[in-house]
């Protein structure tokens, strides 16, 4: 095992920072942040607080979605001049639904050295606490905000043979769970909230159970990761199959839609085909 201390010039370091508990930062992250010439961060106010806790005085430059096109060439130029630059996000691992991918791509294209200083990431924290299978998983990021687009987004993931992981806002959680129920059926699901913080909570139930819970108790507060079991075949009523087929038939041919829905629901191709014809006929009826 290598112990890496001292200044690492001429490189971009991707540094993970805490997702809620300030103590979740590695020794290496602290030394890289201390030794860097510059730290590129999303919000200088957020990163200043972290640096103050650890008495780090490295200068900051903001690098976020709205200024990335202007700032990226300056970072690349500084790296070429031999500076060492650390990239952090507001919390967790940069590049994971956070800025940085294009910066890393540019560095690689320019032959600049990039290193990773691994640490907290809400995706893996949620997965490891979910008690869902971990041998195969698919991180899908944030689903679209509008219900129709969200259903299409979910339907593209129907055949994924592993645990599905999504980011979601507390405000949209109930609507999103309802759309998941429409597309995936009543799968086992987990809402992982406020991980590593004081009010950390893991709530696991069938989707319908979670929908009922939040309908009764109201929207939760805080940051949320939603996980869905890959699920086996679920019993589905004709009406549920029709809802799903309506979404899938907008993206795929009759043949492909029948194949996908039959495979993922475990319902016979014959029954799915009949429902698909019914859905198509209903859609063609003049209103
Ligand atoms: N790059 C970050 C990471 O590695 O965790 C994720 C950044 S993304 C913009 C922010 C989203 O991550 C939040 O909306 C929430 O879905 C999830 N998240 C971040 N911290 C969390 C926490 N402590 N508990 C639950 N979810 C969290």
User: Per CATH, which fold does 11-120 belong to?
Assistant: Cobalt-precorrin-4 Transmethylase; domain 1 (3.40.1010)
CB 70 within 8 A of CB 91: no
Please state the atom number of ligand 1 nearest to the C-alpha of residue 122.
5
Please state the atom number of ligand 1 nearest to the C-alpha of residue 167.
16
Please state the atom number of ligand 1 nearest to the C-alpha of residue 94.
1
* pLDDT the model gives residue 131: 98
Mutate to test the pocket of ligand 1, among 18, 19, 197 (most ligand atoms within 8 A of CB): 19
Please state the atom number of ligand 1 nearest to the C-alpha of residue 120.
4
- Which residues of the chain form beta strands (DSSP E)? 11-15, 38-41, 60-62, 85-87, 113-117, 137-142, 163-169, 188-193, 201-206, 223-228
Q: What is the pLDDT of residues 57-97, one digit of tens each?
A: 999 999 999 999 999 999 999 999 999 999 999 999 999 99
Q: What is the mean pLDDT of each run of 10 residues along the chain (287 residues)?
A: 63 98 97 97 97 97 95 97 97 98 97 97 98 97 97 94 97 98 95 98 98 96 97 81 93 94 90 93 82
Q: How far apart are the first and last CA of the chain?
A: 70
* pLDDT the model gives residue 4: 58
Q: What is the pLDDT of residues 204-245, one digit of tens each?
A: 999 999 999 999 999 999 999 999 999 777 778 899 999 999
Q: CATH classification of 130-228 is 3.30.565.10, yes or no?
A: no
Query: Radius of gyration of the chain from Cα atoms?
Result: 23
Residues with CB under 6 A from ligand 1: 19-20, 89, 91-93, 96-98, 121-122, 167-168, 192-197, 223-225
Which pair of tokens denotes residue 243?
């809802």
Distance CA 264, CA 39 (A): 46
Q: What is the pTM of this model?
A: 0.91
**Owner of token pair 């959680």:** 173
Q: Which residues contact 27 (CB under 8 A, 6 or more apart)?
A: none
Domain range list for the chain: 11-120, 130-228, 238-284
Distance CA 207, CA 63 (A): 38
Q: Output the CA 242–ligand 1 centroid distance in Å.
A: 34
């Amino acid at each position: 095992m290598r112990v890496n201390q001292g200044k690492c010039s001429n490189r971009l370091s991707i540094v993970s920072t805490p997702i809620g508990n300030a103590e979740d930062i590695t020794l290496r992250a602290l030394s890289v942040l201390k030794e860097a010439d510059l730290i590129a961060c999303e919000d200088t106010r957020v990163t200043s607080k972290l640096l103050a806790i650890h008495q780090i005085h490295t200068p900051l430059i903001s690098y976020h979605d709205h200024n990335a096109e202007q700032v990226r060439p300056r970072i690349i130029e500084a790296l070429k001049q031999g500076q060492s630059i650390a990239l952090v996000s507001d919390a967790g691992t940069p590049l994971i639904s956070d800025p940085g991918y294009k910066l890393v791509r540019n560095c690689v294209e320019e032959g600049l050295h990039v290193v990773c200083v691994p640490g907290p990431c809400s995706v893996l924290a949620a997965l490891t606490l979910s008690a869902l299978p971990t041998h195969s998983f698919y991180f899908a990021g944030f689903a679209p905000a509008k219900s129709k687009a969200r259903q299409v987004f979910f339907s593209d993931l129907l055949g994924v043979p592993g645990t599905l992981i999504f980011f979601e806002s507390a405000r949209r959680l109930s609507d999103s769970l309802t759309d998941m129920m429409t597309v995936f059926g009543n799968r086992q699901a987990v809402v992982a909230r406020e991980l590593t913080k004081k009010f950390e909570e893991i709530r696991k139930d069938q989707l319908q159970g979670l929908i009922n819970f939040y309908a009764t108790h109201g929207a939760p507060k805080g940051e949320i990761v939603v996980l869905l079991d890959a699920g086996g075949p679920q019993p589905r009523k004709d009406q549920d199959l029709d809802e799903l087929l309506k979404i899938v038939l907008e993206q795929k041919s009759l043949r492909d839609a029948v194949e996908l829905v039959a495979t993922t629901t475990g319902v016979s191709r014959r029954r799915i085909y009949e429902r698909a014809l019914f859905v198509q006929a209903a859609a063609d009826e003049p209103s």
